[in-house]
Amino acid sequence: MPNFKLTLLATVIATMGLTSVAQAEPNEKWVKKRFAKVDTNADEMIDLEEYIAFRTRNGKGKIKGITKQFNKVTGDDDLLNLEEFKATLKNKKGGKKKNKKD
């Protein structure tokens, strides 16, 4: 049944393709969705309170460290915009998945 094998192979390749997409760098749509979730008062900026709530939502994370990171990323306006939020996500990932195909 060569056709069956071929179909199976195609399915496996397609599944792998989808998996890679899902694990790739956070895309714009995903980041915006995430941002909207963190931005609980929907003013399109994340303030320290919202950021702490987001980072400690699993009961993990130290407020002192989170505040420090927040201040570092926001610069001088004490508010996190979409670009800065994206930067915090990238920092967290650390680019370790670069050679994941190996």
Contact residues for Ca ion, defined by CB under 5 A: 39, 41, 43
With beta carbons less than 8 A apart as the criterion, state whether 49 and 83 touch. no
Q: Which is nearer to Ca ion, 25 or 43 (CB)?
A: 43
Minimum distance of Ca ion from residue 5's CB (angstroms): 53
Q: Which is nearer to Ca ion, 19 or 40 (CB)?
A: 40
Q: DSSP string covering 53-90, please?
A: HHHTTTS-S-HHHHHHHHHHHHTTSSEE-HHHHHHHHH
Minimum distance of Ca ion from residue 32's CB (angstroms): 14
Minimum distance of Ca ion from residue 102's CB (angstroms): 40
- Residue type for 100, please? K
